[in-house]
Protein backbone atom coordinates (compact mmCIF):
# COMPACT_ATOMS: atom_id res chain seq x y z
CA UNK A 1 0.00 0.00 0.00
CA UNK A 2 1.31 3.45 -0.85
CA UNK A 3 1.81 6.23 1.69
CA UNK A 4 -0.77 8.28 -0.26
CA UNK A 5 -3.42 5.54 0.08
CA UNK A 6 -2.63 5.19 3.78
CA UNK A 7 -2.85 8.97 4.27
CA UNK A 8 -6.27 9.08 2.60
CA UNK A 9 -7.54 6.15 4.65
CA UNK A 10 -6.47 7.86 7.89
CA UNK A 11 -7.82 11.29 7.00
CA UNK A 12 -10.75 10.73 9.38
CA UNK A 13 -8.31 10.93 12.31
CA UNK A 14 -7.54 14.58 11.59
CA UNK A 15 -10.91 15.54 13.12
CA UNK A 16 -9.38 14.73 16.52
CA UNK A 17 -7.86 18.21 16.46
CA UNK A 18 -11.26 19.89 16.80
CA UNK A 19 -13.12 20.15 20.12
CA UNK A 20 -16.09 18.28 18.66
CA UNK A 21 -14.98 15.51 16.28
CA UNK A 22 -16.98 15.18 13.08
CA UNK A 23 -19.63 12.43 13.13
CA UNK A 24 -18.63 9.06 11.71
CA UNK A 25 -20.68 6.11 10.51
CA UNK A 26 -21.27 3.28 12.98
CA UNK A 27 -19.33 0.07 12.44
CA UNK A 28 -20.37 -3.22 14.04
CA UNK A 29 -17.00 -4.19 15.49
CA UNK A 30 -18.29 -7.54 16.78
CA UNK A 31 -18.17 -8.86 13.21
CA UNK A 32 -14.53 -7.86 12.70
CA UNK A 33 -11.88 -9.82 14.59
CA UNK A 34 -9.11 -7.77 16.19
CA UNK A 35 -5.68 -9.30 16.67
CA UNK A 36 -4.72 -9.70 20.33
CA UNK A 37 -1.12 -8.75 19.47
CA UNK A 38 -1.38 -5.90 16.96
CA UNK A 39 2.28 -6.01 15.96
CA UNK A 40 5.75 -4.75 16.77
CA UNK A 41 6.52 -1.18 17.86
CA UNK A 42 6.19 1.01 14.78
CA UNK A 43 6.55 4.67 13.90
CA UNK A 44 4.95 6.33 10.90
CA UNK A 45 4.84 9.98 9.82
CA UNK A 46 1.71 10.94 7.85
CA UNK A 47 0.95 14.56 7.01
CA UNK A 48 1.00 16.62 10.20
CA UNK A 49 0.98 13.62 12.58
CA UNK A 50 3.42 11.08 13.97
CA UNK A 51 1.98 7.63 14.83
CA UNK A 52 3.98 5.55 17.33
CA UNK A 53 3.03 2.23 18.90
CA UNK A 54 1.94 -1.33 18.27
CA UNK A 55 -0.38 -1.24 15.28
CA UNK A 56 -1.13 -2.92 12.00
CA UNK A 57 -2.42 -1.44 8.79
CA UNK A 58 -5.10 -3.43 6.96
CA UNK A 59 -3.77 -4.09 3.44
CA UNK A 60 -7.24 -3.81 1.88
CA UNK A 61 -8.63 -0.74 3.70
CA UNK A 62 -5.48 1.05 4.82
CA UNK A 63 -6.97 1.47 8.31
CA UNK A 64 -4.93 1.06 11.51
CA UNK A 65 -5.71 -1.19 14.47
CA UNK A 66 -3.66 -1.23 17.65
CA UNK A 67 -2.38 0.63 20.71
CA UNK A 68 -0.62 3.84 19.79
CA UNK A 69 0.09 7.49 20.36
CA UNK A 70 -0.64 10.11 17.71
CA UNK A 71 1.12 13.47 18.00
CA UNK A 72 0.00 16.28 15.71
CA UNK A 73 2.31 19.15 14.82
CA UNK A 74 -0.11 21.63 16.49
CA UNK A 75 0.49 19.95 19.90
CA UNK A 76 -2.64 17.77 20.03
CA UNK A 77 -2.09 14.20 21.16
CA UNK A 78 -4.11 10.96 21.37
CA UNK A 79 -3.03 7.92 23.37
CA UNK A 80 -5.16 4.80 23.18
CA UNK A 81 -6.61 2.18 20.89
CA UNK A 82 -7.63 2.38 17.27
CA UNK A 83 -9.88 -0.25 15.70
CA UNK A 84 -10.23 0.03 11.92
CA UNK A 85 -8.94 3.62 12.08
CA UNK A 86 -11.35 4.75 14.82
CA UNK A 87 -10.68 5.54 18.46
CA UNK A 88 -12.26 2.72 20.46
CA UNK A 89 -12.16 1.70 24.16
CA UNK A 90 -10.02 3.64 26.63
CA UNK A 91 -8.05 6.64 25.40
CA UNK A 92 -6.87 10.13 26.17
CA UNK A 93 -7.00 13.12 23.85
CA UNK A 94 -5.07 16.27 24.84
CA UNK A 95 -5.48 19.65 23.09
CA UNK A 96 -2.60 22.13 22.68
CA UNK A 97 -4.00 24.36 25.47
CA UNK A 98 -3.79 21.50 28.01
CA UNK A 99 -7.47 20.55 28.00
CA UNK A 100 -7.94 16.79 27.87
CA UNK A 101 -10.54 14.04 27.74
CA UNK A 102 -9.60 10.73 29.34
CA UNK A 103 -12.12 7.93 29.14
CA UNK A 104 -14.28 5.78 26.89
CA UNK A 105 -14.32 6.11 23.11
CA UNK A 106 -16.90 4.54 20.81
CA UNK A 107 -16.87 4.82 17.03
CA UNK A 108 -14.30 7.66 17.13
CA UNK A 109 -16.37 9.72 19.60
CA UNK A 110 -15.65 10.52 23.27
CA UNK A 111 -18.68 8.62 24.60
CA UNK A 112 -19.11 6.76 27.91
CA UNK A 113 -17.51 7.29 31.32
CA UNK A 114 -14.76 9.89 31.33
CA UNK A 115 -13.00 12.94 32.72
CA UNK A 116 -12.80 16.31 30.97
CA UNK A 117 -10.12 18.59 32.39
CA UNK A 118 -10.69 22.06 30.95
CA UNK A 119 -7.87 24.51 30.22
CA UNK A 120 -9.32 26.99 32.77
CA UNK A 121 -9.04 24.40 35.58
CA UNK A 122 -12.68 23.24 35.63
CA UNK A 123 -13.06 19.44 35.83
CA UNK A 124 -15.97 17.21 34.84
CA UNK A 125 -16.23 13.55 35.86
CA UNK A 126 -19.11 11.40 34.64
CA UNK A 127 -20.97 10.32 31.54
CA UNK A 128 -20.02 11.91 28.22
CA UNK A 129 -21.63 11.75 24.79
CA UNK A 130 -19.94 13.11 21.67
CA UNK A 131 -17.32 14.88 23.79
CA UNK A 132 -19.63 16.81 26.16
CA UNK A 133 -21.23 16.03 29.56
CA UNK A 134 -24.41 14.01 29.00
CA UNK A 135 -25.94 11.89 31.80
CA UNK A 136 -24.97 11.82 35.47
CA UNK A 137 -21.81 13.66 36.45
CA UNK A 138 -20.05 16.22 38.58
CA UNK A 139 -18.35 19.41 37.47
CA UNK A 140 -16.02 21.36 39.76
CA UNK A 141 -15.59 25.00 38.78
CA UNK A 142 -12.11 26.37 39.42
CA UNK A 143 -10.91 28.64 40.86
CA UNK A 144 -14.31 29.63 42.31
CA UNK A 145 -14.63 26.41 44.36
CA UNK A 146 -18.18 25.72 43.18
CA UNK A 147 -19.56 22.39 41.98
CA UNK A 148 -22.59 20.85 40.32
CA UNK A 149 -23.63 17.23 40.80
CA UNK A 150 -26.50 15.82 38.79
CA UNK A 151 -27.91 15.36 35.32
CA UNK A 152 -26.47 16.83 32.12
CA UNK A 153 -27.74 16.93 28.56
CA UNK A 154 -25.64 18.03 25.58
CA UNK A 155 -23.18 19.86 27.87
CA UNK A 156 -25.83 21.74 29.88
CA UNK A 157 -27.23 21.14 33.37
CA UNK A 158 -30.56 19.45 32.68
CA UNK A 159 -32.79 17.46 35.09
CA UNK A 160 -32.22 16.93 38.82
CA UNK A 161 -29.08 18.37 40.33
CA UNK A 162 -27.37 20.19 43.16
CA UNK A 163 -25.21 23.29 42.81
CA UNK A 164 -22.96 24.20 45.75
CA UNK A 165 -21.22 27.55 46.08
CA UNK A 166 -17.82 27.96 47.77
CA UNK A 167 -19.63 29.49 50.77
CA UNK A 168 -21.45 26.21 51.38
CA UNK A 169 -24.81 27.51 50.16
CA UNK A 170 -26.52 25.03 47.84
CA UNK A 171 -29.51 24.72 45.53
CA UNK A 172 -31.09 21.33 44.89
CA UNK A 173 -33.82 20.95 42.31
CA UNK A 174 -34.63 20.78 38.61
CA UNK A 175 -32.47 22.39 35.95
CA UNK A 176 -33.36 23.27 32.38
CA UNK A 177 -30.99 24.72 29.76
CA UNK A 178 -28.30 25.28 32.43
CA UNK A 179 -30.64 27.29 34.73
CA UNK A 180 -32.66 26.38 37.85
CA UNK A 181 -36.24 25.55 36.84
CA UNK A 182 -39.35 25.28 39.04
CA UNK A 183 -39.36 24.46 42.73
CA UNK A 184 -36.13 23.75 44.54
CA UNK A 185 -34.45 23.76 47.92
CA UNK A 186 -31.96 26.46 48.87
CA UNK A 187 -29.76 25.59 51.87
CA UNK A 188 -27.73 28.28 53.61
CA UNK A 189 -24.42 27.71 55.44
CA UNK A 190 -26.03 28.73 58.78
CA UNK A 191 -28.52 25.83 58.53
CA UNK A 192 -31.51 27.85 57.28
CA UNK A 193 -33.30 26.63 54.17
CA UNK A 194 -35.92 27.87 51.74
CA UNK A 195 -38.13 25.81 49.45
CA UNK A 196 -39.80 27.51 46.56
Q: Say what the pLDDT of residue 127 is.
A: 98
Strands (E), the chain: 41-46, 49-57, 64-72, 77-83, 86-94, 100-106, 109-117, 123-129, 132-141, 146-153, 156-164, 170-176, 179-187, 193-195
Q: Which of 18-27, 56-65, 120-129, 167-176 has the lowest mean pLDDT?
A: 18-27
Half-sphere exposure of 153 (CA within 13 A, CB side): 10
- pTM confidence score: 0.79
pLDDT tens digit sequence for 100-126: 999 999 999 999 999 999 999 999 999
Determine the pLDDT at residue 50. 94
pLDDT score recorded for residue 174: 97
Amino acid sequence: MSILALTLALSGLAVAQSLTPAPVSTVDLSERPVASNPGPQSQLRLGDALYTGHFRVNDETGLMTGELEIRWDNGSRFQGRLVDGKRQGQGRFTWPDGQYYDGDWRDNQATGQGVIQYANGDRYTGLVRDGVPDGEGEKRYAPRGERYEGSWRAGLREGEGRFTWASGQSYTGRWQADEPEGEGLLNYPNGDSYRG
